[in-house]
Structure 1
């Protein structure tokens, strides 16, 4: 049996044929750091070869689903000299791998979103097959405000869920969307009271797990061809541009001002 609980920052709990994955860095509002990125990649790859699991729930511990990349961690991390090529290769490879893993998983994945789902956190939620949100949910792609191109999945997921004009606005500004508004725009299936969110997500996963798996998984695979086609169109260029902005002075200013709790000043460099 696969040990899904081998990562520090992801809790794994089995309910018969349903696997519940909980992002578990509540002190950082489940920011993607420590071994979370690596763990998600590995677990999603494992699921591809595990016929005993027929549905998955992805949720967050504590007060948030996931606030995205660990901006504070970026600023606190020791300086490691990398060439521009090494930086771009690292960013594009890891993000592309994670997107591919989501698209490869045969089982349906339900995200149960409460509190903040920001940046990469929003992408993790929206790459799931069904998105349920609590009434307190706040969803945003916050790449641009921290000086980065929204390239790690936002340009893939958001325009498929809402009109292109609306997706452009929210991706370019990083403005937050409430749980109710997320349902109205098509980002989420339904809004639930926070106290019912995880129970309802598990119940939905159990209902899906009871369906004929070949039919269910074949339907998902067919529909994911749409995502794959769109991914071929936008993901490579988006990740390359995001990687380039990791090297920008504006991104360094955004990370520094976040830690120092001051207003950033950007110069387009």
Structure 2
């Protein structure tokens, strides 16, 4: 069985359905290093779990996932003594999601931003509450949209719209996201869980190998784009983490003022 952790809560709904809840509600389920590690372990474990045919991902409290934890970001990104890595940890998380054979359904109950949006959009189906919003706000904190945003958004909405949305960091309503083809469906908040679980049961009732191989076949297309884009975007994101503009964006965010950027 899949196991709960310090930042993830797992429950089983029967019919082969597991619901995994990102569980840092006090931080809108922002991804801490601990959550990043537990998510990677989760995606590695799903296909080996004989009790699970479909996994639903959602967030505790009023948010789905607000992305990287900006409260600790300044200190983590300013460190100069960490050993250099050829490949980012983010690469393994995204590649792990793409490698999961069993269907993943995102039940977006509240804001999904940055890495949170990426986690939702790399699922196989995305249902959004009518009270939820979604967007990639990397640029708003002086970072390159490197953790999968540069892969997922152009595939779903096309390069022109993706560039507009990623270069502004604008958050979209559920209605806008559906209209653009970014997500599958907008659902009233009080019906989100029941409708999402209904779809999960419909998928879980199908012949498992046919479902998983169909998903794997489509993900070959996504993986082909991912192999061309992800490493470069992560490397550029890593460079942006070391810029003064990134630190200034974080200071401005904390002080609730406009940033003053120098391009350095």
From 7, 10, 16, give the equivalent of 1:9.
7
| Long gaps (5+) in structure 1 | none
**Which 4+ runs in 1 deviate beyond 6 A?**
none
Give the whole-Å Cα distance in 2 for the aligned partners of 1:210 and 1:112.
19
**Secondary structure in structure 1 of the residue aligned to 2:145:** coil
Q: Unpaired segments of 5 or more residues in structure 2?
A: none
Q: Deviations over 1:7-55 (max 9, x none)?
A: 1111100122111000111110111115211111001100122233100
Whole-angstrom distance in 1 between the partners of 2:23 and 2:195 = 20
Residue pair 2:77, 2:241 contacting (<8 A) in 1 also: no
Aligned residues: 263
Partner of 1:66: 65
- Superposed counterparts of 1:167-246, under 5 Å: 167-246=162-241
Contact kept in structure 1, 2:23 and 2:59, CA below 8 Å: yes
Indicate how the Cα distance of structure 1 residues 76 and 233 shifts in structure 2: closer, same or farther if over 3 A, else same.
Answer: closer
CA RMSD in angstroms, aligned pairs only: 1.6
Q: In the alignment, is the contact (CA less than 8 A) between 2:25 and 2:63 conserved in 1?
A: yes
TM-score, normalised on structure 1? 0.93
* Whole-angstrom distance in 2 between the partners of 1:145 and 1:180: 23
- Aligned counterpart in structure 1 of residue 156 of structure 2, from 153, 158, 161: 161
Q: Which residue of 2 aligns with 1:21?
A: 20
Secondary structure (helix, strand or coil) at the match of 1:48 reads helix
Tell me the TM-score normalised to structure 2 length.
0.95
Q: For 2:11 and 2:55, how far apart are their aligned partners in 1? A: 10
CA contact (8 A) 1:48 1:104 kept: no
1:109 aligns with 2:107: no
Partner Cα separation in structure 2 for residue 174 and residue 52 of structure 1: 39
